Amino acid sequence: MSSSTIQVTDSSDLSGQSTSRLVLQMARRDIATLFRTPWIIISRSLAFIIQLFVFAYLISGLVVKFPGFFPYYAVGSVVSVVASISFIIGYDIFEEAEEGLLDYLLTLPIPRREFIIGRALGGAIRAMIYTIPMFAIVAVLENFSNPLSLLAAVLDLFLLAFGVTGLSITVAVSVRSANRFDVVLALLELAVSRASTALYPLAFMPSYVAALAPFSPVTFAADSTRAALSGSSLDILGLAGLLAFVAIFLGLGATFYFRRLEGGVYA
Amino acid sequence: MFANFCIDLFVTAATFGNLIGSSYFLRIAPGSNLITAMVAAFQSGRDIWREKYIKDLASYLLTLPISRKIFALSRITGGVARSVIATFPGTLVISYLYGILFSPRLIEAFVIVAVFSLGIVGLSIAVSAFASTIEVFATVRSAIQLYLSFLSTIFYDVSLFPAIVQPIVETNPMTWAMQAFSALQSQGSTFYPISVLVGPSLAFALLGAVCYLWYTRL
């Protein structure tokens, strides 16, 4: 998934560039990989369409204890897709490390902080580009038309994407074995999505899941997005949770673990 | 794999059980195990793809003193064994839920998983033989997994599907694997669903073997 072709400006130019420009330069590289892998877009879109129009449509006919399950699931499935796609950046970085490309990237005259923020930003924007058409389908289906509500929902999704990319990068740089990395990231992805209110309401979860689900970043995003789209109120708690999630995994975690990359060995 | 299965069963299936009814949890429980079997079976194809394009091991493996036919057969057998081992605890959990853990019918549960895995291993090897990039492999795998999961009777009866889709659902190997597990739950005979499942599984295994022989040709 990672690209072997890197567009890099001459190092003398880079040293004189502002922080935001360097961050954007790194982000642009990750966004560019999106358009080089159309198969991934096709498979993810197909999965979303089948999940929504086959699974959610048929299962909502069986769910009698929770009226309006289809709209609930539709919004949650978009949130779940954002989280799932944002995890891909970790696989990209791990693959780059395995192929030796990361060593090269680390020699570029870009400070580590800008590098990590740029990668996370690129991963998040990429996830949003993937998801916006799906979000549009749900918005049309459910008749969400208030521009402010839509904007607030997109902000929630972006914050989730930004935080998850930070988390994914943190895992990618802290787990050195390929098998262990695959397992950890896949389980993490499954756990944060399934143990959340994205796909089903908290009241119906078994008690052992209901105790954990309120702390999942996907729950923060799902609740906040639903609140924004329904136009009821601003979900301050959800928004605060998302911001904290972004701060922890992007600001602290990723930067701290990035230092461990230097001279490391991937097996 | 077992952790994956546990999340599928004790989080997702349990929640849908609460949303729809307790009998629904028992109905979809084997689906969690069959999905795990499907993922494990697809690993065989992924490994073959990685041997060729990432690890550069394919040429070495082909120098081993084993005939190609036996080699192809062993890849398929190994994939099935791996899938059965990966789902071993899950099959035990389902057998416990269905009250057959300490009965000879436990063997039938493993036979269902093995026959189902046989077809998926064959399919995954066939895909790996033709996929030139990991993206193509992942996309085809994803499409097959979507078909097996959502266009089958894991989550709902075939009668809920539109009439035009029902033949697709009824010919889905996952549907027959689910029916075989349902027969275990109702203490009925699994002979018919398993014998139906054997057909596509053998066909896919043969396809996988032929594609692998093509892939390893000189």
For residue range A133-170, what is the model confidence (pLDDT) as tens digits? 888 888 898 888 888 888 888 988 998 988 888 888 88
The token duo for A38 is: 């159309």
Q: Higher-confidence residue: B56 or A128?
A: A128
Number of domains in chain A: 1
List, for residues A61-95, the tens digit of each pLDDT value.
888 888 888 999 999 999 988 888 888 887 877 77
B140 neighbors B127 (Cβ within 8 angstroms): yes
CA dihedral of A20, A21, A26, A32, whole degrees rounded to 10? 120
Q: Higher-confidence residue: A186 or B88?
A: B88
- Report the gap between the CA of B156 and the closest CA in chain A (Å): 7
Continuous H helices in A51-144: 57-62, 69-86, 88-99, 101-106, 112-141
Is residue A14, in this structure, part of any structural domain at all? no
Ranges of chain B with pLDDT below 50: none
State percent of chain A over pLDDT 90. 4
CA angle B42, B76, B104 (to 5 degrees): 90
Q: What residues of B are in the A interface, CB distance below 8 Å?
A: 3-4, 7-8, 10-12, 14-16, 18-20, 24, 133-136, 138-139, 142-143, 146, 150-151, 155-156, 160-161
- Report the gap between the CA of B142 and the closest CA in chain A (Å): 6
- Give me the domain span that covers residue A174: 19-58+70-263
At residue A1 the predicted structure's pLDDT band, cuts being 50, 70 and 90, is very low
Say if the Cβ atoms of A205 and B16 lie within 8 Å.
Answer: no
At residue A10 the predicted structure's pLDDT band, cuts being 50, 70 and 90, is very low
* CB-based contact, A50 to chain B, within 8 Å: yes
Is residue A4, in this structure, part of any structural domain at all? no
pLDDT exceeds cutoff 70 at A8: no
Say if the Cβ atoms of B160 and A204 lie within 8 Å.
Answer: no
Instruction: Sort residue B205 into left (φ over 0), alpha (ψ -120 to 50) or beta.
Output: alpha
In chain B, the residue whose alpha carbon lies closest to the alpha carbon of A187 is B4
In chain A, the residue whose alpha carbon lies closest to the alpha carbon of B138 is A40
What distance, in Å, lies between the first and last C-alpha atoms of chain B? 36
Predicted local distance difference test score (pLDDT) of residue A73: 92
pLDDT exceeds cutoff 90 at A113: no
B86 neighbors B36 (Cβ within 8 angstroms): yes
Predicted local distance difference test score (pLDDT) of residue A6: 45
For the residues A117-141, what does the mean pLDDT come to?
A: 86
The token duo for A71 is: 């709209």
Question: Half-sphere exposure (CA, 13 Å, Cβ side) for B179?
Answer: 20
Nearest neighbour of B15 by CB, restricted to A1, A58, A206? A206
Task: Name the average pLDDT for chain B.
Answer: 86
- Kindly list the residues from chain B whose CB atom is less than 8 angstroms away from the CB atom of residue A64: 20
B130 neighbors B198 (Cβ within 8 angstroms): no
The token duo for A210 is: 């209901």
**Residue pointed to by tokens 């549907």:** B175
Predicted local distance difference test score (pLDDT) of residue A173: 75
List, for residues A251-265, the tens digit of each pLDDT value.
765 565 566 555 554
Nearest to A224 by CA among A215, A236, A214: A236
E-only strand ranges, A111-265: none
**B131 backbone dihedrals φ, ψ, rounded to 5°:** -80, 120
What is the rounded CA–CA span in Å between residue A115 and residue A104? Answer: 13
Q: How far is CA B62 from CA A18, B51, B213, B216, in A?
A: 54, 11, 11, 7
Predicted local distance difference test score (pLDDT) of residue A12: 46
Nearest neighbour of B15 by CB, restricted to A187, A190, A200? A200
- Give me the domain span that covers residue B163: 2-215
Q: Higher-confidence residue: A131 or B134?
A: A131
Number of domains in chain B: 1
- Kindly list the residues from chain B whose CB atom is less than 8 angstroms away from the CB atom of residue A208: 10
State percent of chain A over pLDDT 70. 85
What is the rounded CA–CA span in Å between residue B27 and residue B23? Answer: 6
